[in-house]
Protein backbone atom coordinates (compact mmCIF):
# COMPACT_ATOMS: atom_id res chain seq x y z
CA UNK A 1 0.00 0.00 0.00
CA UNK A 2 1.08 3.53 -0.77
CA UNK A 3 0.16 6.18 1.80
CA UNK A 4 -1.80 3.47 3.59
CA UNK A 5 -4.69 3.23 1.14
CA UNK A 6 -3.45 3.01 -2.46
CA UNK A 7 -2.46 -0.34 -3.95
CA UNK A 8 0.72 -0.13 -6.01
CA UNK A 9 1.59 -2.18 -9.07
CA UNK A 10 4.93 -3.84 -9.68
CA UNK A 11 4.41 -3.95 -13.44
CA UNK A 12 3.85 -0.56 -15.07
CA UNK A 13 1.81 -2.18 -17.88
CA UNK A 14 -0.89 -3.02 -15.32
CA UNK A 15 -1.46 0.73 -14.88
CA UNK A 16 -2.26 1.40 -18.54
CA UNK A 17 -5.75 2.80 -19.01
CA UNK A 18 -5.97 1.47 -22.58
CA UNK A 19 -5.33 -2.23 -23.00
CA UNK A 20 -5.29 -2.06 -26.80
CA UNK A 21 -2.88 0.38 -28.49
CA UNK A 22 -5.14 0.62 -31.55
CA UNK A 23 -7.52 2.73 -29.45
CA UNK A 24 -5.14 5.61 -28.74
CA UNK A 25 -5.04 8.93 -30.61
CA UNK A 26 -2.46 9.12 -33.44
CA UNK A 27 0.76 10.66 -32.14
CA UNK A 28 -0.80 10.98 -28.69
CA UNK A 29 -2.60 14.17 -29.75
CA UNK A 30 -6.24 14.61 -28.76
CA UNK A 31 -7.97 16.89 -31.29
CA UNK A 32 -10.33 19.56 -29.97
CA UNK A 33 -12.01 22.78 -31.08
CA UNK A 34 -12.92 25.79 -28.96
CA UNK A 35 -16.51 26.93 -29.15
CA UNK A 36 -16.81 30.35 -30.83
CA UNK A 37 -18.46 31.62 -27.64
CA UNK A 38 -15.20 30.99 -25.76
CA UNK A 39 -13.10 33.26 -27.98
CA UNK A 40 -12.72 35.86 -25.21
CA UNK A 41 -11.08 33.34 -22.87
CA UNK A 42 -9.05 31.28 -25.36
CA UNK A 43 -5.76 32.37 -23.74
CA UNK A 44 -6.94 31.18 -20.33
CA UNK A 45 -8.03 27.86 -21.84
CA UNK A 46 -4.60 27.45 -23.46
CA UNK A 47 -2.89 28.18 -20.12
CA UNK A 48 -5.12 25.67 -18.34
CA UNK A 49 -4.40 22.97 -20.93
CA UNK A 50 -0.66 23.66 -20.69
CA UNK A 51 -0.86 23.37 -16.89
CA UNK A 52 -2.62 20.01 -17.22
CA UNK A 53 -0.04 18.73 -19.75
CA UNK A 54 2.90 19.94 -17.65
CA UNK A 55 1.64 18.53 -14.36
CA UNK A 56 -0.19 15.30 -15.19
CA UNK A 57 0.24 12.24 -17.37
CA UNK A 58 -2.49 13.50 -19.70
Number of H helices, E strands in the chain: 1, 0
Alpha carbon 11 to chain centroid, angstroms: 21
Q: Is 30 in a helix, a strand, or coil? A: coil
What is the chain's mean pLDDT, rounded? Answer: 78
Q: Where are the domains of the chain?
A: 3-54
Alpha carbon 1 to chain centroid, angstroms: 24
Write the pLDDT tens digit of every residue in 23-50.
778 887 888 888 999 999 999 999 999 9
User: Is 56:48 a contact under the CB 8 Å cutoff?
Assistant: no
Give the predicted TM-score (pTM) of the model: 0.51
- Total Cβ atoms within 10 A of residue 32: 7
pLDDT of residue 1: 54
Amino acid sequence: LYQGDIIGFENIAVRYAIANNTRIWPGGVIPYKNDIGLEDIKDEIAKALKHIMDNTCI
